[in-house]
A and B are shown apart, each in its own frame.
Chain A
Amino acid sequence: MMATESKRTRTVTTWGGCLAAVLLVVSPNASAAQDDRTDDWPPEAISFFEERIRPVLAEQCLSCHGARKQTSGLRLDSRAAILDGGFIEGPAVYLDDPSASPLLAVLRHDSELKMPPDQPLSDEVIGDLGRWVEMGMPWPDDATIPTPEDVADASATHWAFQPIVAPDPPAVPAPDAVATPVDAFLRARLDEVGIAPSPQADRRTLLRRVSFDLIGLPPTPEEVEAFETDPRPDDVAFAEVVDRLLASPQYGERWGRHWLDVARYADTKGYVFTEERRYPYAYTYRDYVVHSFNEDKPFDRFILEQLAADQLDLPPGDPALAAMGFLTVGQRFLNNANDMIDDRIDVISRGLMGLTVSCARCHDHKYDPIPTADYYSLYGVLNSSTEPDTLPLITELADSSGPDRDDFLKQLEEREAAITAFLQTKHDEILLDFRRRSHAYLEAAHLLGSTGEDAGDRRRRNDSVIDQEARARDLPPRRLSAFLEKWTRLLDEAAPETNPILAPWHALAALPAESFAEDAAEALASLTADASAPLNPVIERELTQPETPRTFAEVIERYAQAFSDQTEDGPEEPGRPAIDELFSSESGALAVASLDETRRLLERDERNELRDLERRAAELQVNHPGAPPRAMVLVDTNEPREPFIFVRGNPGNRGPQVPRQFLQLLEGEDRRPFSQGSGRLELAQKIADPSNPLTARVMVNRIWMHHFGTPIVGTPSDFGTRSDQPTHPELLDYLATQFVRGGWSIKAMHRLIVNSRAYRQSSLDRPDAAAIDPENRLLWRQNRKRLELEPMRDAMLAVSGRLDARFGGRPSPTPSAPDGTRRTVYSMIDRTFLDGVYRTFDFASTEVSNPDRPETIVPQQALFLMNSPFVAEQARSLAERCRDEAASDAPADRINRLYRLLYGRPPEPSELQLGERFLGRPDASTGPAPSPWSYGFGRFDEETGRVTHFRPLEHWTGESWQFGAEFPHPEAGHLHLKAEGGHVGNGPDRAAVRRWTAPEDGVIRVEGSLVHRNARGDGVRGRIVSESGGLLGEWVTHDGRSRTRVAAVEVAAGETVDFVVDCLGNTSHDSFAWSPVLTFETPAGSRTTWDARSDFRGPPEAPPTAEEQYAQALLMTNEFLYID
């Protein structure tokens, strides 16, 4: 039981305890003389003081009548001081005559003296004060009220804000009783009150305790035996066990989970509207935490990484980047930035330093010296940090090869192949387009290219001209632009006189339009005549036959013909290969060179299509369970954002600007604003600084809490002025000092604590000690602890032999899934739809950072143990394991094996006897009474009014009963029955029949609706037929609903009542819904309801054997679920 709970409890039980308190306490109105009592007030009286009186005194009076200043010698900050009074009036309050109290007169301005001097308090407040005085001035204890100045002073006075001192362990008279310095501190306190520590627990108990403590799993029978028979002294043998457990990879899974409580870890975002609910990469933070504990990462480094891994110059892909999930796995508050930042401030300040900084969001902290300005200083740091759109990939910590990864790679390949295929198609399409429509391309290119500009000019040419030309010719502009560039380059590079393909173009393009026809014939003749530079035969033919072109437009046409005409005489035609080469996708001058170039040539709708394909590939990275891990990082914004105070927390009401800097409380007057980017790293360094009085104390307190079940400071996430006093302040400081000196090693802390005699004490109660220290605050014994959800579930898996010890990876199903085998720390944690098992077993809140877990005992826990398929499955495996492992078939041997596996000990004779008796019961495993429902088909005989030829449906699909594995079945069509209805068979012999058999004599009533939802077909007919009474009702439904009621009908034990549905004329569209509810009343008056839908089941499972039932009982025992 965690001690913070006691604080809550006090509030919880305020009213419950009220009665007792009133009985014990004299009436608060008793007009006693100036008494000296200091407590025993009824809780409501104290509440009245806290809510109505304390604030008034603190805010209105104490500046002049408090600890610093006592005007007129009067102090109003404690009950005694008020009764003592000041120089002028004497006592300020007369308890025996309250209404005459000078204090009230002064406040009412009824006397010469008037207070407060400037303006009277409101009537309501004065009334409250009057009532309070009438009540006898209830005051919680003899404490004095802090003034606002006191609050500021707390940085100088409150223990937790003072530097950690390094106390020496006290000298203890019995040095033998000290195994580690921890014992000296505890022993000194025990000696003071005269309680002796408890004797050491036996080795078996100890091993079980320390195993659950450090790795969250029970020891194996072999480990128990080895330790019990280890001949070395206890200290030595035990220390070795501790080292073994700390080195186990399962240690991180246990202790990482404790840290995840602080980090309010979950795998989903909380309520969202339409966006993705999951955090696909939250698990990388969880794995980072587990891994960090296993490698004993120094705690200061752990802090730096969790707040600022992005600024530690880690190599790209370093798994430690995932550390920042500490900040980013919180709730999303519908993406309200201010609330997300508040959540992050809270997890940083309470989680790491035990400071409730979030209290200062709207106003200065009421009790701790944390002004609102400091809240907004931290706000500025987090507001200058942002989550990048694409989270960085990191190296895997967990081997995630396996079916998911294979599937991911396969799907990724498919989706990436789809992108390539799309681009390839477009590539080929463009190429073909250049050839098919080469006339249009050449025409446009000629027009655009013949302006005599150089290449640079052409590049600068206004795109709109190209657009215009493209539109005029119905060409895609980007393709035209590309063609133009290629064509121009081709012309530029081709030798104008000798190029077999382009020489004629050059020659003809140079001709004047006026005399083109004649000049062209001449020019062509000269070109064809030059044997040294033969023309391409195809070009030559096109340009000379049937006649030479008369205009340049015709030349373009002829070239286009040559380029596009790929079929005449086939590719063998002389000259054709050279032309084809121009368009060859590998090297052609007029070809699109690559898929990259293709990508640039896509038009808008094509680009959209491509983006969709690319998005599908990207989504896979996010959503696929086999996708490689990414870190949920924060990075600094480009420019840090200077924070403003939001007055009363309202972002619409900006107050003064404040620098991004650390808390004044810890930095003092000469603090400097953060200077590097957001300041996140500097913030982390301030928190992890050895001189920070809180960080180490808070962490060692958390470690202590998990070893003893109760912390040294009862409020593990609040070390402020209202926190619980430490039970052992010197011990706390000693541990904190050792923690820092030992390089912030958490494992070293475990050794220091766990190897102590105190830890190893027996947990047995001792009336002598309990009489002095009933709450065991001084630790005169070890506390008995209940297993939390995780070790409970893990222990069941471990003893049943089903535990899958793999590390990390994406979340496994919820912890209640019967086939789950992985450790609970890896189970899915869904903030919104939290598996009921988490709630039932007091799991940590996923909404806020947890100081500790509540501990309740509710019957729902027992229900899970008694009735859940998960526990049944473990019991089954456990029984099977013992059958396999026991030396013989004798029940005693199996019982013995069970006891060793579960409890690490042999059974006591009485236990053995109980077990043998249980296993030997006659009819130990009959299972529940058979279901009265059966599922089949048959015929309704109109003449006799009875069902004949009933045969059961024999194939179970997991959801429905049907005729055979094949569906629709060649013989029976769509015939089937499922929970809510079914489908009729083909023909009158194959009516669907849901049969109920009366378990005893009685009367039935039936309610229900026969529903047919299809306008097509001719509907269905439902009948209720009893074996003795025949037809009880008949309904025909087509695209509608009929209410199927049968009023009281007597049935005899074993008699059947059939719910028969047949097809009328034809069997198509004959799905129906009909799940009648049958109420059965016996002559004795007992009533049972049978609901066809919820009772619907597949074939009955074999009932659990006696051994399974026995194994389950042992799993439910307190011995299994509690740690002594």
Chain B
Amino acid sequence: MPHHRPNPGDLPVTRRELLCRSGMGFGAMALGGLMSDSGALARPARADDAVRSSLAPKSPPMAPRAKRVIHLFMNGGPSQVDTFDPKPMLARYAGKELPTENLRTERRTGAALNSPFKFKKYGESGIEVSELFSNVAECIDDICVIRSMQADVPNHEPSLMLMNCGDARLPRPSVGSWVLYGLGTENQNLPGFVVLCPGGYPIAESSNWKSAFLPGIYQGTHIDSNHTSLDKLIEYIKNDRLATPEQRAQLDLLSELNQQHLERRRRDAELESRIQSFELAFRMQSEAADAFDVSREPEHVRQRYGEGVHGRQLLIARRLLERGVRYLQVYHGNGQPWDNHDDIEDGHRRLAGQCDRPIAALLRDLKERGMLDETLVIWGGEFGRTPTVELPTPGANAGKMNGRDHNHYGFTMWMAGGGVKGGHVHGATDEFGFKAVENPVHIHDLHATMLHLLGFDHEQFTYRYAGRDFRLTDVHGRVVHDLIA
């Protein structure tokens, strides 16, 4: 089937104009139209005007440190003691029982399992990072490592839900939905909350990015980043049957008919918005094509991110952030790739090998473009892993004694940019890396802190539903000021 890629040059507006104009958003345009109506200033804006513009960019109540978020989700749970939380004691106890009792996790674990990876100090801060993330480690002075994360249970589904929606079981809006609801999005031509996941869905599927009781427009748009073609990435973004000039002629006709209709109805802000939305959709076709087309990046940039799906999806991520997407979540892969109950040495080496370089490239790229300051980068899994070896279970890791179980008592996440302290370590686990013992940070605290950085008081950022004011942090959470620069 023949089809045509519109060149930016063919379009009625230039790309630069487009990027600027889209910053305003059609909601603002609609409101502008309303205001210009004679006497409209005296009239209060109607409720429906506001709903229509509910994706328009909004200012948070406090001065924000971050304007956008990218959450690099290492789904499955990477091991802290093999990545960002070195534990020399494990070498001394390798193969021996820990002096303290093993904490109860999903499955039984045995003796201490030493990390097979070498740690080294990096940067001026001298923070130790394992060889697995030697590229990311080069950016350590921009990174705030939280070594004292805690979740509630050692199971994937509830922990993913907790991390993504602030509640382990009940249908609650995801963090991205809350942020979109609170801040709108700067580019009406792209979804404001995008979830990239190569190969399909993580476990618990779309529950991870649902909007629950928030309006559906705040739900995340899932994109299988294994795809390279735009029409697989965004629904109905391409017209396979009409050439661009033909579609333009069709929309001109539509616009003319709608204008006549509008005049016969003495103008109506909603009808006007609808007319605008077709123009925006028309431009979105090229805008989205542009955002997802990494071949438009110079060779040296693509080189930096590297070949392969992780390089490509993080490069797409940067292009989306640059275009004003508010909240991005990037999963490592479908299912739970980091879940190395056995063969952790091979598994973690392979997984880190896939993402270490692209993540480092993203951090540098954001920094060079002056975007890192306003972009909150978050890295981590739904929990960490035990410092002790997982005992074999028939049907799972039978015959293997070389992996780690889930561990919600203590694990590592890191943040960068968006107003956090670079080259800083917050909190600590015990001497074996089993449990957070110093300045523990619960997921609710992480959420409270994220909202704080975005300019919200998590206790006052609410949504009225079914007779109650709901919060992302429910009745929990406290802002961890020590992380903030």
CB distance from A719 to the nearest CB of B (A): 10
Interface residues on B, range: 35 or more
Taking a contact as CB atoms under 8 Å apart, the answer to whether A856 and B467 are in contact is no
Q: Is B96 an interface residue (CB 8 A)?
A: no
Is A927 touching B277 in the complex (CB atoms < 8 A)? Answer: no
Say if the beta carbon of A1093 comes within 8 Å of chain B: yes
Q: Does A866 contact B236, Cβ atoms closer than 8 Å?
A: yes
Cα–Cα distance between A722 and B467 once the two chains are bound (Å)? 7
- Which residues does chain B contribute within 8 Å of A6, judged by CB atoms? 47
| Closest B residue by C-beta to A346 | B466
Residues of A within 8 A of B5 (CB): 1088-1089
Name the residue among A6, A860, A1098, A1114 with the largest chain B CB count within 10 angstroms.
Answer: A860
Count how many pairs of residues, one from A and one from B, have CB atoms less than 8 Å apart in the complex.
307
Out of A1, A840, A862, A863, name the residue touching B48 (CB < 8 Å): A1
Cα A1096 to Cα B168 in complex, Å, equals: 43
A924 to B215, CA, bound (A): 40
Picked from B3, B42, B235, the residue with its CB within 8 Å of the CB of A860 is: B235
CA A865 to CA B258, docked complex, whole Å? 15
Residues in B with CB closer than 8 Å to A1095 are 3, 229
Nearest chain B residue, comparing its CB with the CB of A1116: B254
In B106-164, the 8 Å CB interface with A consists of 157
- Interfacial chain B residues near A5, Cβ < 8 Å: 47-48, 51
In Å, the complex CA distance between A595 and B5 comes to: 70
Give the CA-CA distance A1117 to B250 in the complex, in Å.
11
- Do residues B51 and A717 form an inter-chain contact, with CB atoms below 8 A? no
Q: Is A1084 an interface residue (CB 8 A)?
A: yes
Other-chain contact of B271, A717, A775, A1122 (Cβ < 8 Å)? A1122
> A16-B59, A928-B240 are known contacts. Are A367 and B271 too (CB-CB below 8 A)?
no
Assess whether B295 is interfacial by the CB under 8 Å rule: yes
CA distance A847 to B278 in the complex (A): 30
Taking a contact as CB atoms under 8 Å apart, the answer to whether B51 and A836 are in contact is: no
Q: How far is the CB of A204 from chain B (nearest CB, A)?
A: 13
- Which of A329-337, A687-695, A1028-1036 contacts its partner? A329-337
**Is A1 within 8 A of B242, CB to CB?**
no
Q: How far is the CB of B97 from chain A (nearest CB, A)?
A: 31
Answer yes or no: B9 CB below 8 A from chain A CBs: yes
Chain B neighbourhood of A44, CB < 8 A: 61, 460
Task: A858 to B234: give the CA distance in the assembly, Å.
Answer: 14
Rounded to whole Å, the gap between the CB of A1026 and the closest CB of chain B is: 20
Is A1053 in the interface zone, CB < 8 Å from B? no
Q: Tell me if B227 counts as interface (CB < 8 A to partner A).
A: yes
Write out the residue numbers on chain B whose beta carbons fall within 8 Å of the beta carbon of A784.
Answer: 265, 268, 270-271
Q: Which of A261-281 contact B (CB under 8 A)?
A: 270-271, 273
Chain B positions 237-288 with a Cβ under 8 Å from a chain A Cβ: 237-244, 246-247, 249-251, 253-254, 256-258, 260-262, 265-268, 270-271, 273-275, 277-278, 280-282, 284-285
Candidates A770, A872, A914; contact of B43 at CB < 8 Å:
A770
**Residue in contact with B467 in the complex, picked from A368, A867, A1122, CB distance below 8 Å:** A368
The answer on a CB contact under 8 Å between A847 and B52 is: no
> Is the CB–CB distance between B467 and A359 below 8 Å?
yes
B55 touching A858 by the CB < 8 A rule? yes
A8-B463, A925-B246, A931-B2 as given contacts; A1117 in contact with B258, CB under 8 Å: yes
Give B238 Cβ to nearest chain A Cβ, in Å: 6
Asked whether, in the complex, the Cβ of B467 is within 8 Å of the Cβ of A9, the reply is no
Inter-chain contacts of A930 with B (CB < 8 A) = 2
| Chain B residue at minimum C-beta to C-beta distance from A719 | B467
Is the pair A774, B44 in contact by a Cβ cutoff of 8 Å? yes
List, in ascending order, chain B residues with CB within 8 A of A1112's CB.
250
Hey, which chain A residues are within 8 Å of B466, CB to CB?
Answer: 346, 350, 356, 358-359, 717-718, 848
| Residue pair B206, A859 in contact (C-beta under 8 Å) | no
Complex Cα distance, B228 from A457, in Å, reads 80
Q: Are B247 and A866 in contact (CB under 8 A)?
A: yes
Are A48 and B460 interface neighbours, CB within 8 A?
A: yes
How many residues of chain A are within 8 Å of chain B by beta carbon? 121
B381 interface residue per 8 A CB criterion = no
- A464-472, A1013-1021, A1103-1111: which lies at the B interface? A1103-1111
Contact B43 A774 (CB under 8 A): yes
Contact status B54-A859, CB under 8 Å: no
Residues on B with beta carbons closer than 8 Å to the beta carbon of A925: 246
Task: Give the Cβ gap from B326 to chain A, nearest Cβ, in Å.
Answer: 14
Which residues on the A side are within 8 Å of B267 (C-beta)? 765
- Contacting residues of chain B (397-411) with chain A, CB-CB under 8 angstroms: none
Interface residues of B in 193-211 (CB under 8 A from A): 204-207, 210
B1 at the interface (CB under 8 A from A): yes
Given that A862-B281, A1091-B229 are known contacts, is A867 also in contact with B236, CB under 8 Å in the complex?
yes
* Contacting pair A859 B242 (CB below 8 A): no
Do the beta carbons of B215 and A15 come within 8 Å of each other? Answer: no
Interface string of B44-62 (1 = CB under 8 A from A): 1011101111111011110
Chain A CB within 10 A, most for which of B9, B43, B51, B207 = B51
Provide the bound-state CA to CA distance between A43 and B462, in Å.
12
In the complex, A834 has a CB within 8 A of chain B: yes
Which stretch of B86-94, B181-189, B337-345, B424-432 is in the interface? B181-189
B278 CB, nearest partner CB in chain A, Å: 5
A864 touches which one: B181, B231, B236 (CB < 8 A)?
B236
C-alpha gap A50/B254 in the complex (Å): 48
Report the minimal beta-carbon distance from B316 to chain A, rounded to whole angstroms: 13
Q: Do the beta carbons of B253 and A910 come within 8 Å of each other?
A: no
Contact indicator B295/A1089 (Cβ below 8 Å) = yes
Chain A residues within an 8 Å CB radius of B463: 8, 11
B253 to A914, Cβ gap below 8 A? yes
Not counting A13-B54, A867-B238, a sample of 8 additional A-B residue pairs whose C-beta atoms are within 8 angstroms of each other reads A47-B457, A47-B462, A356-B466, A775-B47, A860-B281, A866-B247, A867-B285, A1114-B257
18 example contacts (A-B, Cβ-Cβ < 8 A) are as follows A5-B51, A9-B50, A18-B59, A784-B265, A786-B274, A833-B205, A842-B216, A868-B236, A911-B260, A914-B256, A924-B246, A928-B3, A929-B3, A1086-B7, A1091-B229, A1112-B250, A1113-B250, A1118-B258
Closest 5 CB pairs of A and B: A1094-B229, A356-B467, A6-B47, A862-B281, A1097-B1
A: which residues have CB within 8 A of B? 1, 3, 5-9, 11-16, 18-19, 43-44, 47-48, 50-51, 270-271, 273, 331, 333-334, 336, 339, 346, 350, 356, 358-359, 365-368, 717-718, 720, 722, 764-765, 767, 770-771, 774-775, 784, 786, 832-834, 836, 839-840, 842-843, 845, 847-848, 854-868, 872, 908, 910-911, 914, 918, 921, 924-931, 1077, 1079, 1084, 1086-1089, 1091, 1093-1095, 1097-1098, 1100-1101, 1103-1104, 1109-1110, 1112-1114, 1116-1119, 1121-1122, 1124
Question: Which residues on B are within 8 Å of A, measured CB to CB?
Answer: 1-5, 7-9, 26, 39, 42-44, 46-48, 50-56, 58-61, 157, 169-171, 181-182, 188-189, 191, 204-207, 210, 212-213, 215-217, 219, 227-232, 235-244, 246-247, 249-251, 253-254, 256-258, 260-262, 265-268, 270-271, 273-275, 277-278, 280-282, 284-285, 293, 295-296, 457, 459-460, 462-464, 466-469
